[in-house]
Homo-oligomer: A and B are copies of this chain.
Amino acid sequence: MEYRFSPFIEQVKSSVTRDILKLTQGKGKSIISFAGGMPAEELFPLEAIRDAAASVFTRGRSTLQYGLTEGYTPLREQLAERMTAKGMHTEVESVLLTTGSQQAIELAARVLTEPGDVVLVENPTYLAGLQIFGMQGLRVVSVPSDEDGMRLEEAERLVKLHKPRLVYVVPTFGNPTGRVWSQERREGLLALCRRYEIPVIEDDPYGEIKFEPAADYPSIYALAGAAGGVLYTSSFSKIVAPALRAGWAAGDKPLIAMMAKAKQSADLHSSSLDQQLLSELLLQFDLERHIRGVAAAYLDRMNEMQELLRTHCPAGVSWTAPKGGMFLWLTLPEGLDAEVLLRAAIAKGVAFVPGVAFYAEEPERNTARLSFTLNTGERMAQGIRLFAEAIEEFTARS
């Protein structure tokens, strides 16, 4: 049969990181990859997860029955308490458990928009966010952004021009840039969105992985307080492990209820075994201490990568110094196309993500994202040497 597919799906770009996987296929472990946005496996709390699973099974067969669409109630309660303790007042009815924060974003976009609507994003922004919006037939407009976040005058101009139905931001250690929005920009965006009655999705999967433990970056959701208007999304993928695919959304109750209705039709509910396991884990395991350990390890790796880049990269290459998260964002010499560089780099045995993937509109082609979570020691050193070599060869030629 000759299938006729929805044009929205047809036009969605497949993930660049997947294409990179394909490019590197067959080369296996010999490729040193800074491409994947994956947490470091060796830090996963396997024993604690195993013990939590064992505890779940002692509770009997009813643990294996269908669950509620909103998710396992004790875990929703624990998340509401945990968020409240972190200055983000949340009630249990305001929490929806999802299959990763990805699903939370997609459900929100589905209930809040119709095909043809405009969504406003940072520039650059999270690739999978762009895929979600594209698949729903939305028009993505990107707001010029700098190290402090979206530029507010530009945001206001574009709001007036395009009347967006939704704003999507990753203000803390964002993907791909690793940047942290200033408090002023957070407050400014909130005020702007209130004025024009535009809901904000604040995607925060990395916010807990901060390199200065005492630093406080108040979420836009916290700044909004009881007045609402902000949907906060996060995930256990980076702070526990991705295989459990457990994320959540916290927001205004009418929005959460509508998202639950959409979720009921999308998949009834997410794995309740995983949710019960995480609920036990939160009881049995010192998650806060674990997160501090992950952040400390990532800070070491980030410093290591910075040092290697300083040592090996030719002049004209610059990069961010993130205060948390998983990514470095590089600017290559003007005129160097990172997609072309990638092919040369893979030939040498190293991979990264060309920045072009993260732009909704006009890309800056001389940008790249490097994940510092996945390699250490000699492997990281070798990877950065090869990466720098590839750049060197291009700059020498031009």
In the complex formed, the residue of B with least CB distance to A264 is B15
Cβ-defined contact, B60 with A255, below 8 A: no
A201 is an interface residue with CB less than 8 A from chain B = no
A113→B268 CA distance, assembly (Å): 21
Would you call A155 an interface residue if the criterion is a C-beta within 8 Å of the partner chain's C-beta atoms? no
CA–CA, A2 to B254, complex, Å? 9
Complex contacts, A80 vs chain B, CB 8 Å: none
Q: In whole angstroms, how far apart are the Cα atoms of A53 and B57 in the complex?
A: 10
Q: A6 touching B245 by the CB < 8 A rule?
A: no
The complex places the Cα of A258 from the Cα of B128 at a distance, in Å, of: 16
How many residues of chain A are within 8 Å of chain B by beta carbon?
82
Q: Which of A64-72, A82-90, A350-358, A375-383 makes up part of the contact surface? A: A64-72
Find chain B residues with CB under 8 A from A3 CB: 112, 199, 252, 254-255, 258
Q: In the complex, what residues of B have CB within 8 A of residue A112's CB?
A: 3-6
- Is A147 an interface position by the 8 A CB rule? no
Residue pair A102, B266 in contact (C-beta under 8 Å): yes
Q: Measured between alpha carbons, how far is A8 from B262 in the docked complex, in Å?
A: 10
Q: Is A223 an interface residue (CB 8 A)?
A: no
How does the 8 Å CB contact mask read for A104-133 relative to B, with 1 for contact and 0 for none? 001000111111000000000000100110
Name the residue of chain B whose CB is nearest to the CB of A58.
Answer: B50
Contact partner, A61, options B46, B60, B111, B272, Cβ 8 Å:
B46
Given contacts A64-B241, A114-B6, contact A266 B269 (CB under 8 A): no
Which of A37-45, A303-311, A341-349 participates in binding chain B? A37-45
Number of copies: 2
Inter-chain contact A66/B242, CB cutoff 8 Å: yes
A316 adjacent to chain B (CB < 8 Å)? no
**Contact between chains at A243 and B41 (CB < 8 Å):** no
Q: How far is the CB of A61 from chain B (nearest CB, A)?
A: 5
Given A9-B111, A9-B258, A245-B268, A64:B50 Cβ within 8 A: no
Q: List 12 A-B contacts (CB under 8 A).
A: A9-B111, A14-B264, A15-B264, A44-B61, A46-B60, A46-B64, A64-B243, A67-B242, A67-B243, A128-B265, A245-B272, A271-B274
| Apart from the given pairs A50-B54, A53-B53, A103-B266, 13 other A-B contacts in the complex at a CB distance below 8 Å | A2-B197, A5-B112, A6-B112, A7-B114, A14-B264, A15-B264, A38-B65, A41-B61, A46-B61, A102-B267, A243-B273, A270-B271, A273-B273
A residues with a Cβ closer than 8 A to B are 1-9, 12, 14-15, 18, 36, 38-39, 41-42, 44, 46, 49-50, 53-54, 57, 60-67, 98-100, 102-103, 106, 110-115, 128, 131-132, 134-135, 165, 194, 197, 199, 227-229, 237, 241-245, 252, 254-255, 258, 261-262, 264-274, 276-277
